[in-house]
Amino acid sequence: MDNAIESALYIVPTPIGNLSDITLRAVEVLKNVDYIGAEDTRHSQLLLNNYGIKTKMFSLHDYNEIQKRDYLVNTIKEGKSVALISDAGTPLISDPGYHVVSYCRDLGIKVIPLPGPCAAITALSASGLPTNNFIFMGFLPTKEKALNTELSAILDETRTCVFYESPKRIVYTLEAINEVLGSERRVVIGRELTKTFESFYDLPAGQMLDFLREDPNRTRGEFVLMIAGIQEKNEISPKVVETMKLLMNEMPLKKAASICAAIYQLKKNELYDYALKNGLADQK
């Protein structure tokens, strides 16, 4: 693929803190497109100045995206090129751009994405949580009822859940996580990524809440909140069932479950419940 600028809409990620986190291609595209549609032109001017980018900007944000999309499409149809940027990270990821991109796609306008910074992926990659299967859920609702409903929906979630959260709400959200998902659910927070005070906190929800409350500095800045998925329940294998039966011939169910759990490194309560539900105790 050569890097010549086409008549198209370019989706260009920008740094999430450290200004050096911009790709050579992103700078090249921003320098050479006809226009840049920016979420906040004043904010993005700093980035443009830093890289000597002189391209004309226009504003394209949540509140004018639908009005501006015809202007944008017509500009591209006239043979011009436009780059879309947000204040930080990848446009459209909890940022404006969805209406414009879907409109362009519907009308057959070429949309060219550039890879680059995204807080969710940056945090996840260093979190130590499973990354093979995860869900990104953006910002959690602010209203208590909706927040609890959304958290209840991930009670049995086995995938890593990734959220964005603000400094104003991080403690409130942790309280809700603690309440709905329990104090033992593992939470990892990626704070101020790529910046001076970058930190990762990895604690069960209850302890995380205490940890954040202990020091107001820990609730400053920007946050990616990650909630570990629950362990998938292992099928009780035929071998384990056989062992349970043998043990139960010799001892009470509770003791059998405890010994069997130790042998196979399973949870004794699960074995106990399994034996009751599957009538192992009755077969004696």
CB of 45 to ligand SAM, least distance (A): 18
Q: Which residues pair with 9 in a beta bridge?
A: 82, 111
Task: Work out whether 119 is an interface residue with ligand SAM (CB under 6 A).
Answer: yes
Please say whether the beta carbons of 284 and 249 come within 8 A. Answer: yes
Q: Give me the helices (H) in the chain, please.
A: 24-32, 41-50, 65-77, 98-106, 119-127, 144-152, 170-181, 205-214, 238-250, 253-264, 268-277
Q: Phi/psi at 58 (nearest 5 deg)? A: -130, 160
Question: Contacts with ligand SAM: how many residues (CB under 6 A)?
Answer: 23
> What type of residue sits at position 158?
T
Task: Work out whether 39 is an interface residue with ligand SAM (CB under 6 A).
Answer: no
Site string for ligand SAM, 159-198 (x = CB under 6 A): -----xxx-----------------------x-xxxx---
Taking only Cα atoms into account, the Rg of the chain, rounded to an integer number of angstroms, comes to 26
Say how many CA atoms lie within 13 Å of 217 toward its Cβ: 3
Q: Enumerate residues 230-259 that contact ligand SAM by CB under 6 A.
A: none
Task: Work out whether 17 is an interface residue with ligand SAM (CB under 6 A).
Answer: yes
Please say whether the beta carbons of 99 and 201 come within 8 A. Answer: no
CB of 137 to ligand SAM, least distance (A): 12
Stretch of residues binding ligand SAM (CB under 6 A), selected from 3-11, 158-166, 244-252, 267-275: 158-166
Pick from 126, 36, 125: nearest CA to 87: 36
In this complex, which beta carbon is closest to ligand SAM, that of residue 113 or of residue 281? 113
Task: Work out whether 40 is an interface residue with ligand SAM (CB under 6 A).
Answer: no
Task: Work out whether 118 is an interface residue with ligand SAM (CB under 6 A).
Answer: yes
Task: Work out whether 15 is an interface residue with ligand SAM (CB under 6 A).
Answer: no
CB of 122 to ligand SAM, least distance (A): 7
Binding site for ligand SAM (CB under 6 A): 16-17, 86, 88-90, 93-95, 118-120, 164-166, 190, 192-195, 222-224
